[in-house]
Every structure is written in structure tokens, then in C-alpha cells.
Amino acid sequence: MPRSPIRVACVLFAALSCAGRAHAVPSAANSTLPRHVLLVGRLGDLADTTAGACSMVVRDAANSPIARCVVELRVLNCFGTRLSSEPYAAGTTIRCETSGVLQTTDIHGEVRMTAVGAGTPGSAPGAGPCSQIYAAGVLLGIITLATLDMDGRDGLTPHDVSLWLTDLASGELRGRADFDGDGVLTAHDLSIFLTVWAAGRSQESAASYCP
């Protein structure tokens, strides 16, 4: 039996709605997103939430928080970025098809997610916003992203620092090395790396990456 246009429309609307409130559709204008996200390493089974956690609040057109809404942070369009195939965080799932980190909003419409991943030595560096944030399929915004673990192995090591120095010496804005997301590479970015390295929660790289 062919599907009626009304039924198809309802199914599509349901896919774009969140479960928290009837007809609650996320609003890009009213939702709160981070300006920047930092891909981090892990220690054992735990993502480095201290360095990498970022909060997002999903709201609808009436500015009301939307609970039970699936939020996805996608790194698909960030050059050379490799996302861990394991989340290393409770309540988080990984969708490798879209290089996405997924969480469901709480009763306050909020998620607090950490993305474990790395760069790829020799890849195009990229610059500017590249990481997309979706809620229930609605694009809320695109933010900048950087990767502390620039080579994707052995956690944070002097080799990552050497890769960062290479990016610095290029004189270009290379987004992967802009750890504070201010649009310029400075000693402050290196200080962030050293702080995270000293804290020891990004000692290990992901065990495997999305293909």
C-alpha cells in the first residue's frame, strides 16, 4: 500500500522533534553551544572530561529547554580528524557513519559531552569552524575544533608538541593546533597542551578510530 503524503509528513516531523515536549523542535537561535571543542585523549576507560567536556543546551522556538533530545557533535568535515570508535564516557555513543558523538539531553535540555580523538599527521590542516552540532537532525551550529593528540598514538607526547611547533612555524592559522580556539596560534595554545599533559588524563590515545 502506498504511503499517504500526510503519513510521510508526520513521520518526518517526528524525526525532527524531540521527545521532551510535544512539537518541540530545536531552535538554532535559542540553543547554547560552545564556541570551540577540543578533542582529547583518555586514561583507561575514561575520556579526559577535565580538558574536553563541553556543555550544550537545546531550546525550542519558545526558548524552553528540550529534554530527551539527541544531540550529535560531528567531526566529519574537520580535515584529518579521527574520532575514537569508543566513547569512553557513560551515556555517550559513537556513530562512525557520521563521525558523530551522541548524547541525549537531560531535563534541563543539556548535554555535557567529551570527544576522544586525534589528528592525522600529514593531513591538510584546515581552519575555521568545521564541527557540526545537530539536535534531532536540526543543525544548530558549526564550531571550531582542535586536536591535542596530533599524531593519534601514545597519548600526549613530545612528538605531538613537535607537530604543533611545525604548525606554528607555518605562519598559518591551522585549526587543529588552535587549542584555545581564538583564531591565532600562540604560546597560550602550547600552555593548554602542557596543562593537559601534566594532568595526565590524556595519557592514552583511542584504542581504535572510526574508519
Residues forming contacts to Ca ion in the complex (CB under 5 A) are: 149, 151, 157, 160
- Compute the least distance from the CB of residue 116 to Ca ion, in Å: 12
| Residue whose CB is less far from Ca ion, 154 or 180 | 154
Tell me which residue of 39, 10, 70 sits closest to 148, measured CA to CA: 39
| Residue whose CB is less far from Ca ion, 86 or 151 | 151
| Residue whose CB is less far from Ca ion, 104 or 203 | 203
How many alpha carbons lie under 13 Å from residue 119 in its C-beta half-sphere? 28
List of residues 6+ apart from 28 with CB closer than 8 A: 138, 139, 140, 141
Cell numbers found for residue 85 = 570508535
Between CA 114 and CA 197 the distance in angstroms is 17
Q: What's the gap between Cα 185 and its chain centre?
A: 20
| Residue whose CB is less far from Ca ion, 149 or 167 | 149
- Compute the least distance from the CB of residue 159 to Ca ion, in Å: 6
- Compute the least distance from the CB of residue 153 to Ca ion, in Å: 5
Ramachandran angles phi, psi of 40, nearest 5°: -125, 180
DSSP 3: P
DSSP H/E element including 143: strand 138-147
| Residue whose CB is less far from Ca ion, 48 or 149 | 149
